Amino acid sequence: MRGVLRGGRLSRLVPSRPVPPEPAAPGEVLAEAEDLRVRLAGRLILDGVGVHVRAGEVLALVGPNGAGKSTLLGALSADLTPAEGTVRIHGRPTTAWSAPELALRRSVLPQSASLSFPFPVEDVVRMGRAPWAGTEREDEDDAVVAEAMARTEVTAFAGRPFSALSGGERARVALARVLAQQAPLVLLDEPTAALDLRHQELVLRLCRERAAAGDAVVVVLHDLGLAAAYAHRVAVLRGGRVAADGPPSEVFSDALLSEVYDQPVEVLAHPRTGEVLVTPRRVP
């Protein structure tokens, strides 16, 4: 049937299969933004941003509300067309990829997960496998879906409808769907917002594991402690520009964070482990 459709005039209805990407070498740039300017509703949200996202690395985007973190993530995921500058994914401008090709190269976790119809949790996670339909790796679907659910601890309610879940459970199901997509570039917009302490740690451990397996992970975070503990590199955004970019131990300083957040902040080392801790300075 598919062969007939491809050969005939209907071929445009069944596009040819996109080719999956080659595994990335460690350190390879999987996404980059150059001199990026993005306007939303007439307002300049990003004003000359440049970032590189490398394979094997967790990059955290931090900054105050309205700094442009989500917009930058949207540009990196090819949702937004920049007014100026370019965004490249796997070395090619985002506009040069088709939607199915992009789906094999980057996965995106949106800030809030919604669903129009009450699909059961397992079906939602399985939707992440859609880009692989018709490829050899389609056979792995069951195993990948089961593992993604196990890793995000949603297996227990795999049969329940998505609409019956709590906010935190939904967030984990959405993450499981993103993991099941197995794209080398993983973009997560505030994955920890709705989660309890234990699951926040779980999600960021998963990010590190994806990076260790050779993927590039970009994660928007509000919790600077989490960013300091789990990110290889942090990009601090302020007013649509990158205020600082580097390893958290170098970037996070009292002066920079206090200035960026317009709130006195103290950065100190954990007395026992030496980890970077970030805490607001409170007036007693």
Residues at the site binding other proteins, with contacts judged by CB under 8 A? 13-14, 18, 23, 77, 79, 98-104, 106-108, 110, 113-120, 122-124, 127-128, 130-131, 133, 137, 139-140, 142-151, 155-156, 158-159, 179, 181-182, 184, 209-210, 212-215
Shortest distance in whole angstroms from residue 274 CB to other proteins: 27
Residue holding tokens 């902040």? 265
Stated length of the chain: 284
Give the nearest distance from C-beta 81 to other proteins in angstroms.
Answer: 13
Residue with tokens 């100026």: 84
Contact 181, 129 (CB under 8 A): yes
Least Cβ distance, residue 108 to other proteins (angstroms): 4
**Contact status, residue 252 vs residue 234, Cβ threshold 8 Å:** yes
Q: Which of 224, 184, 158 is nearest to 56 (CA)?
A: 184
Nearer to other proteins, 109 or 242 (CB): 109
For residues 27 and 280, which CB has a smaller minimum distance to other proteins in the complex?
Answer: 27
Residue 50 and residue 245: Cα distance in Å, rounded? 10
Task: Tell me whether residue 61 or residue 80 sits nearer to other proteins (CB atom).
Answer: 80
Give the Cα separation of 34 and 88 in Å (integer).
9
Provide the minimum distance between the beta carbon of 192 and other proteins in the complex, in angstroms, as a whole number: 19
Chain centre distance of CA 136:
26
Structure tokens at 235: 């990009």
| Distance of alpha carbon 43 from the chain centroid | 24
- For residue 36, what are the β-bridge partners? 49
Q: Nearest distance from residue 245's CB to other proteins, in Å?
A: 25
The nearer residue to other proteins, 76 or 221, going by C-beta atoms, is: 76
Cβ atoms of 8 and 24 within 8 Å: the answer is: no
User: Which residue, 182 or 192, has its beta carbon nearer to other proteins?
Assistant: 182
* C-alpha closest to that of 242 among 105, 30, 46, 8: 46
Nearest residue (CB) to other proteins, 123 versus 254 = 123
CB of 266 to other proteins, least distance (A): 36
